[in-house]
Each structure stands twice: as structure tokens, then as C-alpha cells.
Amino acid sequence: MPFGLAFSPEERDGVEPEVVPKPEELWDKYSTDAPARRQWCIGRSNLVKSLVTLVERYDINPKTTWTSAEYPFRQWSTMEADSMSAALSNIKAARVLKRSGLGAAILVALLFAYQATLAFPQPFFPHRVTYKHMTIYSRRELPRDIETILQKTDSLLSRSELYNPQTESRIFICDSNSLFWFYTGGLRHVFAVAFPHTTRYIFVPKADYERDLVLFERTGPGDKRERHLTSTLAHEIVHLYIFDCLGRKAEAALPDWIKEGYCEYIGQGDAIPPDEGIKHLLNGDGNIPGLFYFRSRRMMEVLMDSQGSSIQQVLSHPPNEAEVLEALMKTMKLNQTLH
């Protein structure tokens, strides 16, 4: 959305731009062990700084461009973040053009163009296949295997109590890490992302349909994560279900371990092999890519398979994380002694 046009008066709080959160502050406030969350913290903080630069340089009234005193970045829409991202990439050009008096107009035009591309990516993805409620868009022709992929995804989803065949999902396979970065407002090193709050689109960096794999930008040679495309798609679609079930506010407040844990539980995916995951958890290892998701899925198994909770119960009365983790650790230790 362009600056100053789309925020309602209640959303403006007149926060002065010098109050910029540092990544660590965001991290302290919203941290989980999820590496993707850490990346979002840093990304969002950088985007805020960009916006501030823009505000200061071009005399745009911060009261009409600022959205929240508390910086609840979890609740920031992608559009807000993307506006800031677009602002950053256009600062250089705008600086040159400012003297000629065209700067602001061109900046706004560029932001419009960027937002339009985000809102309607379909023309850039001319190939598509629809199966039931899912449409997959691609820049290159889709192979026949795609039907099997979508069928498998649907059968994973149908296990969920939240399964809704009316929920339309639009999935864009970018076939390029940079394009994925562009459409997701700067995300890297992730398997996929869904935007339930705004466009409801799902973006995937690249896919190997034959092997049912997501191809993504790794953090380095030590990053051994692998994920099936089917479980990744199911995971992202479950994010849409949770959002539809809870609404914006409650979804934002839901702890990440429940959100990601349930998406993983239905997607039946593991970014790291189970043996390794269990070993890391028992050792108390931290900072292992994919471990947060592994742990969250197992915690959800404790709740749903061992304790017989329904997802509606979990969503309406989120259980205590430490207690569920303790139960999980107990089960894992017991299994270890039995083996």
C-alpha cells in the first residue's frame, strides 16, 4: 500500500521515527527458537530503519506512515513490510530525482507498481494446474507429476479437523531464489511462505516434482535440511486454516510452537531426520536449523495422539509450553531406555 493512503486513523499512533526497534529488542520480545522468526526480526527491524530514512529524507509525515507503537511485527501485514522494502530499494533513485521535483511522484508510482505485482502475480506465472481447492502457478510448464503432488497434499490435509475443501489455495512456484525473495518481502533460506493476513498466496522458491522436494536457498554447506513439496504445501495451507479458524488477532497471539507444530503435524514433514532430531533434543542442543519445527511437531503429537486433545481445544485453550515439553522429554527418555 502506498504511504499515507491506506492506514485508518486508529492504526496511526503518531510514534516518532526515532523510536526504531533494534533486532535484539524485537528478538527479546518475540523470540522463539525458530530461525525463520529470527530472520524476520532482523528483516523487520531493517525495514523500519529504511522507512525512517525515507521519512526523514523526504519529509513524509510520520504520523500517516507509522502503524504501531509496540511494533507487533507479528501483526504487520506483508504489505506494510513490503512497502518498506520497496521504499528501501527506491531510496537511491528517489534521491537523484528529488531535486527535479519528480521524486515523490515517481516513488509513489514505483510503490504502486510493486504492490500491484505482489497483489496480482498471476500474469508472471502463465502455467497453472488446479486440483480441487488448490491451484499451482508456475513460470514454466508443469509436469504430469503435479497432479500426484496435489492429490497427496490433499490427502494430508484431509486428516485435519480444520480441513475445508472450500478454502482456496493459490501456490506460486517461483523457480528462482531472487524472485522468491522479491515476492516474500526479502525472505531467504526458507522452504515456503504463506500470507494468510493479506493476499493468502503461498510462495515456494523452487520444486523438484519428480522427487517431491522443495529446492531452497541453503544457509551454507552445513544446512542439511530437506523437505517434501507435499508436506510443505500442506503445512502452508494449514496456516490458512488456522487463520480462518481464529481470525487475525487470535492467530497473531497464538504461540508459534502451536502454530508451526500443528502445521507440521498435519504436513507430516520433518526438516531433519527423526533420529537426529531426538538426539539434539535430548542433548539440549540449540540453534540447529529445523529443530524448532521438529520439536513443535512432537509436542503436538503429545497433545493430540497421547493426550487425545482436539485442535479446537488446543486453539481455544493453548496449553502451557513448558509442561508439554516436559511430557515430550519424558516420553523420549523413556523410549531411549526401552531401546
Binding site for Zn ion (CB under 5 A): 260, 263
| Cα–Cα distance for residue pair 5/47, rounded to 1 Å | 19
C-beta of 125 vs 191, nearer to Zn ion: 191
C-beta of 154 vs 260, nearer to Zn ion: 260
- Minimum Å gap between C-beta 306 and Zn ion is 23
| Cα–Cα distance for residue pair 331/225, rounded to 1 Å | 25
C-beta of 39 vs 53, nearer to Zn ion: 39
**Which pairs count as long-range contacts for 227-232, CB under 8 Å and 24+ apart, including other chains?**
227/191, 227/269, 227/271, 228/269, 229/149, 229/204, 230/149, 230/152, 230/153, 230/156, 230/267, 231/156, 231/267, 231/268, 231/269, 232/191, 232/192, 232/204, 232/267, 232/269
| Cα–Cα distance for residue pair 205/305, rounded to 1 Å | 33
C-beta of 87 vs 233, nearer to Zn ion: 233
- Minimum Å gap between C-beta 190 and Zn ion is 9
**Which pairs count as long-range contacts for 56-63, CB under 8 Å and 24+ apart, including other chains?**
56/17, 57/91, 57/95, 57/98, 58/94, 58/98, 58/103, 58/104, 58/107, 60/3, 60/4, 61/4, 62/14, 62/15, 62/16, 62/17, 63/12, 63/14
CA distances to 225, 270, 294, 328 from 274, in Å: 12, 7, 8, 14
Identify any residues that bridge with 172 across adjacent strands, giving them in sequence order: 137, 203
- Minimum Å gap between C-beta 267 and Zn ion is 9
CA distances to 2, 133, 168 from 165, in Å: 34, 6, 8
| Cα–Cα distance for residue pair 185/242, rounded to 1 Å | 22
Our CA angle for 181, 186, 188, nearest 5°, is 65
C-beta of 43 vs 103, nearer to Zn ion: 43
C-beta of 260 vs 270, nearer to Zn ion: 260
C-beta of 7 vs 265, nearer to Zn ion: 265
- Minimum Å gap between C-beta 252 and Zn ion is 14
C-beta of 73 vs 114, nearer to Zn ion: 73
- Minimum Å gap between C-beta 260 and Zn ion is 5
- Minimum Å gap between C-beta 314 and Zn ion is 16
C-beta of 259 vs 280, nearer to Zn ion: 259
- Minimum Å gap between C-beta 238 and Zn ion is 8
